[in-house]
Structure 1
Amino acid sequence: MAQEQGGSLSEARARVGALHSITDLGRKLHFYGRWAAEYDQDVAALRYRAPRLAVDCLTQALPGPPHAARILDVACGTGLVAAELHARGFLQLHGVDGSPEMLDQARARGLYQHLSLCILGQEPLPSSEGTFDAVLIVGALSNGQVPCSAIPELLRVTKPGGLVCLTTRTNPSNLRYKEALEAALDGLEQAGAWQRLVAWPVDRWELATSELEVGPGTPDNDGFISGIVYLYRKREAAQMEGVRPRPQPPTDL
């Protein structure tokens, strides 16, 4: 494990470790509400890289000028993804999250045009079909958070030809969820709903919160756990009719 850098890392590990152990959504949202004020400093202490990695991936694939793209940040939390998007010139940012307290933190950044309270998996996204040029969901695809059954809702609000970027952890404690997620992603591709552009495995995702999270026999990676970024393009309506897609190998950045 990486050497701790003062009390903040120890406290961050304790809080994130506690979060990962909660599988009930109601309890998880309550935890997020209590955590909102310390969230940014904790994930910084854990050197959490998913927001930057996801936005890097999206930026390389999205055509046209960034300021013209309408973006939805699902499970936006305190707005870490919005900060990365804004730094790259994206200005039309919309966010949804299930925690009012997290939305308060996101609102304070002043980067979103609109923020909505929404618990994805229990209710539809508050947007019409085909609204956004790109949709991101970063850090919320794990056990007890957004269920795999909600993935088609991300597609619904994406414009035909638009992009969907998703992330999840690939460390041992999240592997069962990752397998279910990939089955859902592959099922939509086989149905002709979208095309995979990128599957980008990342060894240094964030610092592990405990030895148990890393798992026995797993390479140390300086105390980091691993994760993955997926990027898909929604098929145009004409392409989706009667499509019989062939399996395509993932393309790394």
Structure 2
Amino acid sequence: MMGGVEIEVGLKTWRPCPHRRMALEEGGRLSELRARVGASHGITDLTCKLHFYDQWAQDYDQDVAMLQYRAPRLAVDCLTRALPGPPHDALILDVACGTGLVAVELQARGFLQLHGVDGSPGMLEQARARGLYRRLSLCTLGQEPLPSSEGTFDAVLMVGALSDGQVPCSAIPELLRVAKPGGLVCLTTRTNPSNLRYKEELEATLDRLEQAGAWERLMAWPVEQGNWPPPSLRWDLALLTAMASSPGLSTCTASRRQPGPRE
């Protein structure tokens, strides 16, 4: 009591708003992902790149989910539209299969005969745990041939591995070798600044193969990226044609290789 006036003294506790706390945590996580993705794009030595993916394998799925990585879904959408027959009859090779994100999309659309190859044992371990592949093989494309006979697969996909330090452009004909005559090859690459030189070399490689009659382009899909994820974190899909003006797409190509005497 002071001067006949009663003063109430209380203690108040401030607690961060749950939404703000989540935003702060998410911001910290995004900073980590920005560093990790930037590091992966900056590694051009193949041995170092494979070691990096071995270390990333356990967290890879949750990291790319946070970044809304859409390349597997878009590539399989492209394949589904181009494939002439029922999906359950098609024998598919998933090159640089990683943890099996492409296999998840394939199975959801009725593709059941899936084979996969990757150069990272850690990634293959995660892919094997999904139980979606009939066969998984360790193979570093560009240093060794694919472990399959000529003309084996109805479709060959390679999603997310066409960049410096991963699959060289010189290995593209190897994808064509294991595809059946008239089979499909579906590819994606990035338009990130760090990948532009590789993208130009890839476009030139594909153009030379098309001019030689080895395959023909069937479809190319522009990709609307929007504002998320931010540019520093994106895997932008690139137009695989030098003449194109679109910022990104998935491309399916059909093999026009003529059957040999034993096929």
Residue 41 of structure 1 is matched in structure 2 by 62
Are residue 120 (structure 1) and residue 144 (structure 2) matched?
no
Is the contact between residue 67 and residue 90 of structure 1 (CA under 8 Å) also seen in structure 2? yes
Q: Secondary structure at the match of 2:133?
A: coil
Residue 207 of structure 2 is matched in structure 1 by 186
2:160 partner amino acid: G
2:195 partner amino acid: N
Residue 174 of structure 1 is matched in structure 2 by 195
Residue 122 of structure 2 is matched in structure 1 by 101
What is the deviation of 1:14? 1.6
Q: Secondary structure at the match of 1:76?
A: coil
What is the deviation of 1:9? 2.7
What is the deviation of 1:236? 4.4
Are residue 14 (structure 1) and residue 35 (structure 2) matched?
yes
Are residue 201 (structure 1) and residue 222 (structure 2) matched?
yes
2:98 partner amino acid: G
Cα distance, 1:187–1:60 mapped onto 2, change above 3 Å: same
Separation in structure 2 between the aligned mates of residue 142 and residue 121 of structure 1, nearest angstrom: 12
What is the deviation of 1:12? 1.9
Separation in structure 2 between the aligned mates of residue 232 and residue 203 of structure 1, nearest angstrom: 21
Gaps of 5+ in 1: 215-225, 241-253
Is the contact between residue 9 and residue 42 of structure 1 (CA under 8 Å) also seen in structure 2? no
What is the deviation of 1:202? 1.7
Separation in structure 1 between the aligned mates of residue 45 and residue 249 of structure 2, nearest angstrom: 24
Given the alignment, which residue of 177, 198, 210 partners 2:232?
210
Gaps of 5+ in 2: 1-22, 237-246
Residue 251 of structure 1 is matched in structure 2 by none
Larger Rg: 2
What is the deviation of 1:208? 4.3
Is the contact between residue 50 and residue 139 of structure 1 (CA under 8 Å) also seen in structure 2? yes
Are residue 163 (structure 1) and residue 187 (structure 2) matched?
no
Give % identity: 76
Are residue 88 (structure 1) and residue 109 (structure 2) matched?
yes
Separation in structure 1 between the aligned mates of residue 48 and residue 91 of structure 2, nearest angstrom: 32
Is the contact between residue 141 and residue 171 of structure 2 (CA under 8 Å) also seen in structure 1? yes
Is the contact between residue 181 and residue 256 of structure 2 (CA under 8 Å) also seen in structure 1? yes
Is the contact between residue 136 and residue 165 of structure 1 (CA under 8 Å) also seen in structure 2? yes
What is the deviation of 1:6? 4.3
Separation in structure 1 between the aligned mates of residue 95 and residue 40 of structure 2, nearest angstrom: 19
| RMSD (CA atoms) | 2.2
Given the alignment, which residue of 82, 86, 92 partners 1:61?
82
Residue 49 of structure 2 is matched in structure 1 by 28
Separation in structure 2 between the aligned mates of residue 131 and residue 145 of structure 1, nearest angstrom: 24
Are residue 237 (structure 1) and residue 258 (structure 2) matched?
yes
Separation in structure 1 between the aligned mates of residue 135 and residue 142 of structure 2, nearest angstrom: 20
Separation in structure 2 between the aligned mates of residue 233 and residue 64 of structure 1, nearest angstrom: 14
Q: Secondary structure at the match of 1:140?
A: strand
Is the contact between residue 14 and residue 209 of structure 1 (CA under 8 Å) also seen in structure 2? no
2:193 partner amino acid: P
Q: Secondary structure at the match of 1:112?
A: coil
Which region of structure 1 is more displaced relative to structure 2, 201-210 or 173-182?
201-210
Is the contact between residue 16 and residue 209 of structure 1 (CA under 8 Å) also seen in structure 2? no
Separation in structure 2 between the aligned mates of residue 98 and residue 119 of structure 1, nearest angstrom: 4
2:45 partner amino acid: D
2:116 partner amino acid: G
TM-score by length of 2: 0.81
Q: Secondary structure at the match of 2:115?
A: strand
